[in-house]
Amino acid sequence: MYSQSPRNIFCVWDCIFIKPKDMANIQYVTKEGLDKLRAELKHLESVERQRITEQIADARDKGDLSENAEYDAAKEAQGLLESRISKLQDQVANARIIDKSQLDSTKVSILSTVKIKNLANNQELTYQLVPETEADLKNNKIAVSTPISKGLLGKKVGDKAEIKLPNGNILNFEILDLKLEE
Question: What pLDDT shows up at residue 4?
Answer: 44
What residue ranges of the chain are covered by domains with CATH 1.10.287.180?
6-97
Phi, psi dihedral angles at 96 (to 5 degrees): -130, 130
3-state secondary structure the chain: CCCCCHHHHHHHHHHHCCCHHHHCCCEEECHHHHHHHHHHHHHHHHHHHHHHHHHHHHHHCCCCHHHCHHHHHHHHHHHHHHHHHHHHHHHHHCEEECCHHHCCCCCCCCCEEEEEEECCCCCEEEEEEECHHHCEHHHCEEECCCHHHHHHCCCCCCCEEEEECCCCCEEEEEEEEEEECC
Question: What pLDDT shows up at residue 3?
Answer: 43
> For residue range 9-36, what is the model confidence (pLDDT) as tens digits?
333 334 334 444 454 578 888 888 899 9
Question: What pLDDT shows up at residue 20?
Answer: 42
Phi, psi dihedral angles at 86 (to 5 degrees): -60, -45
What residue ranges of the chain are covered by domains with CATH 3.10.50.30?
100-180
In CATH terms, 6-97 corresponds, of 1.10.287.180, 3.30.460.20, 2.130.10.10, 3.30.1360.30, to 1.10.287.180
CATH classification (class only), 100-180: alpha beta
Task: Give which of 107, 112, 95, 122 is closest to 30, Cα–Cα.
Answer: 95
> For residue range 73-121, what is the model confidence (pLDDT) as tens digits?
899 999 999 999 999 999 899 888 888 888 888 999 999 999 999 999 9
